[in-house]
Amino acid sequence: MKSVETLIDQIKAYNPKTDQKLIRDAYDFAKKMHAGQFRHSGEPYFSHPVEVALILAQQNLDDATIVTALLHDTIEDTESTYKQLTGRFGDEIAQLVDGVTKLTNLELSSSETKQAENFRKLLLAMSKDIRVILVKLADRLHNMRTIKHMRPEKQTQKARETMDIFAPLAGRMGMQWMRDELEDLAFRVLKPDARSSIVRRFLTLRNQTGDVVTKIAQDIRAELEKASIEAEVFGREKKPYSIWRKMQEKNEGFSRLSDIYGFRILTENEEACYKVLGVIHRRWRAVPGRFKDYISQPKLNGYRSIHTTVSGRDGRRVEVQIRTHEMNDVAEAGVAAHWSYKDGQRVENPFTVDPVKWLSDLTEAYNNADNYGDFLEHVKLDMFADQVFCFTPKGAVIALPRGATPIDFAYAIHTRIGAACVGAKVDGRRVPLWTRLRNGQSVEITTAEGQRPQSTWVDIAVTGRAKSAIRRALRDEHKEGFIRLGRELARVALEHVGKKATETALRTAAKNLGLSGSHELLEQLGSAELTGSRLVEVLYPELIRDAEGEVNQPAGRIVGLEAEQFAEPGNCCQPLPGERIVGIATRGKGVIVHRIDCERLAAYEDQTDRWIDLHWTEGRNAATHAAGIEVTMANDTGVLGRICTLIGEQKANIADLNFTARKPDFYRVEIDIEVRDVEHLHHVMTAIEADSDVAQILRINARHKAE
């Protein structure tokens, strides 16, 4: 465990005027409060807040933030109280510690609705004092650095929460170094084999080509010296998670990726940045579409830099970032730079963003979200997105996430403009509304009276603001239709378990789901925001548990198993009685049952000892076997209700229903049903296919839907 002197020396390096007495007092108080407590690693618990304080000290932060780090777990995990902290350390520090405690108690990895509400509370805490989230981020970083001592299931939960919430939040605040490390630490837990593979490929590449980073950096320095430009050049290999994400996005193997190296050039002033850019582009061929000027168009968190990608040594693509030293300070610390100290004084960096303005910009777009799902979508889209900058015909700049369309542009101007949009011109040329906008383009939106948002726009739009406004308009327009459809779906879902969709039952379910009443419940059922199985689960959870209790029981209608073996149907093919089947033995006593034509069996061709010859018994089965169908039907009132009735008339049960497409003229819906056997499924599909409003019906399975 680091001593208080080590911490004070770290702080004095950037703030000689630090209040050493305050730091020592906080250190001693927290050490006393945490006495006798230990971490999963066996270390004294107090080592954790000390490490968190050191992380923040490395960011040159003020004394109040450092003290908060030392005390951040005292209210939650010790006998210390808010009143005690106020009396000893003052209101400012007590409020900061209390804010961190409240953030710690938020369950950000819980269900989506609760997660969204808690994220809203997180932003509220940040709005009071953004240093609260700085401490929380440092707390999460140290926990991720020592995550190997947690239980495996806890590691997975924390890593997923870090990847979904804390890493992108750090990036949105401009703390890119912290985002990179958090992502890589989470990646190590969530995809250990993938990360190890990428690290091995880097080592192999380094052995084959030598230290490419050093060689390219020397090439850049040589060119800058020829042009008499003073600058510092730094190079590095991209982080494993960054490489893996590119592989997933581009669907390419490691060997096909080219821009796996990054270089940063730091200059003395802005003019030199553009001179460096000229030198780089004259010496190496620029890659089209990979140039971004964040100096002339800074990001909302204050980030400024020029980005370009060129074909460097031996044709390898390299990414180059060019910025001044002051810009780099903000790029490293982000919004935290507002509290940075140097030589005992707050740093006056002209590029630092006022945290109050930053938070205002961050939360403004979320205020129009009319439900927690929309809000969470806003947050995640905004935090993950890179930006492009487009212009209105009058020259106003509109900042949008990468991949945005004219629909997003229209809604960014005003919701009224977005709703009335009928067309767009980009750089004077008419383009489809699904066109992806690029940096520097001029966009003109054409509107018309009477135009209303189309359902297809939800798939076209990228921004949370546009998606939320479109969905709200569609809900308002189709609300009555959704309610009628939802009432039919509720009836079918509850009749499946022998219950009735009474008004009392619907009001009770709405209350448990946090909805305003039965109408909102039915509307969400009809618009596929809520499933029938979820409705049953809310009202009658014991019935769900009873159904789950039947899994992994000894097979009663399959012949060919040993006495102690039990069978499970493969989700990849969902075999039914009447179909030829084969079993694959697992390491335990379980046997996975597949249809004889299942594609998954190809993976076991070399493991014939695991194959078991199985067949179904003769006789009539109960309607308990899962099957999936996909129905494409006309988008008209009553059609889906009629399809549900047809399924019921054939004595099959509807287990779940999910819309995969909802267009102006048709619906496509996946329906999970329970049938007796393959002949029963055929009867159901024939009855549906005979309906005049059904365009197509297909049998699908769980694997198909997951893909």
What's the pLDDT tens digit per position in 451-486? Answer: 888 888 988 898 878 888 888 888 777 777 788 888
pLDDT of residue 469: 87
Backbone angles phi, psi at 462, to 5 degrees: -115, -40
Q: Give yes or no: 77 in active site.
A: yes
Q: Give yes or no: 76 in active site.
A: yes
**pLDDT tens digits, residue range 531-564?**
888 888 777 765 554 444 443 333 347 888 887 7
Collapsing DSSP states into helix, strand and coil, what is residue 236? strand
pLDDT of residue 417: 93
Beta bridge partners of 656: 672
Spatial distance between the Cα atoms of 668 and 528, rounded to a whole number of angstroms: 12
Using the structure block, give the residue that is written with the tokens 């308009």.
Answer: 473
Spatial distance between the Cα atoms of 696 and 645, rounded to a whole number of angstroms: 18
Strand 566-569 relative to strand 558-559: parallel, antiparallel, unpaired?
A: unpaired
Question: What is the DSSP-derived secondary structure letter of residue 38?
Answer: B
4-190 placed in CATH 1.10.3210.10: yes
Closest alpha carbon to 659 in 482, 407, 466, 452 = 482
Q: CA triplet 657, 658, 660: central angle to 5 degrees?
A: 145
CATH architecture of 387-462: Roll (3.10)
Spatial distance between the Cα atoms of 183 and 197, rounded to a whole number of angstroms: 17
Q: Which of 19, 25, 43, 76 is catalytic?
A: 76
Give residue 78's pLDDT band: very low, low, confident or very high (50, 70, 90): confident
pLDDT at 393 over 90: no
**pLDDT tens digits, residue range 242-254?**
888 777 766 655 5
Spatial distance between the Cα atoms of 506 and 499, rounded to a whole number of angstroms: 12
Element (H, E) at 158: helix 152-161
The Cβ of residue 113 has, within 10 Å, a number of other Cβ atoms equal to: 14
CATH architecture of 625-706: 2-Layer Sandwich (3.30)
Mean pLDDT of the chain: 82
**pLDDT tens digits, residue range 496-510?**
877 788 888 888 888
Mean pLDDT across 400-411: 89
- Domain borders along the chain are 4-190, 193-346, 387-462, 471-548, 558-616, 625-706
Residue 334, by phi and psi: left (phi above 0), alpha (psi -120 to 50) or beta? left
Give residue 352's pLDDT band: very low, low, confident or very high (50, 70, 90): low
**pLDDT tens digits, residue range 572-609?**
889 999 888 999 988 777 899 999 888 888 888 888 88
CA dihedral 578, 582, 586, 589 (to 10 degrees): 60
| Tokens describing residue 646 | 């047809």
**pLDDT tens digits, residue range 641-674?**
889 888 887 788 888 888 888 888 888 999 999 8
The CATH number given to 193-346 is: 3.30.460.10
Provide the terminal-to-terminal Cα distance of the chain, rounded to the nearest Å: 48
pLDDT of residue 146: 92
- pTM value is 0.55
Q: Do 4-190 and 193-346 share a fold? A: no
Mean pLDDT across 61-74: 92
Spatial distance between the Cα atoms of 20 and 523, rounded to a whole number of angstroms: 61
Give residue 359's pLDDT band: very low, low, confident or very high (50, 70, 90): low
Residue 578, by phi and psi: left (phi above 0), alpha (psi -120 to 50) or beta? left
Spatial distance between the Cα atoms of 644 and 652, rounded to a whole number of angstroms: 10
Spatial distance between the Cα atoms of 146 and 227, rounded to a whole number of angstroms: 47
| Tokens describing residue 247 | 């592989």
| CA torsion through residues 328, 332, 338, 342, sign | negative
Q: CA triplet 626, 632, 638: central angle to 5 degrees?
A: 95
Q: Which of 19, 25, 43, 77 is catalytic?
A: 77
- SS3 labels along 498-531: CCCCCHHHHHHHHHHCCCCCHHHHHHHHHCCCCC
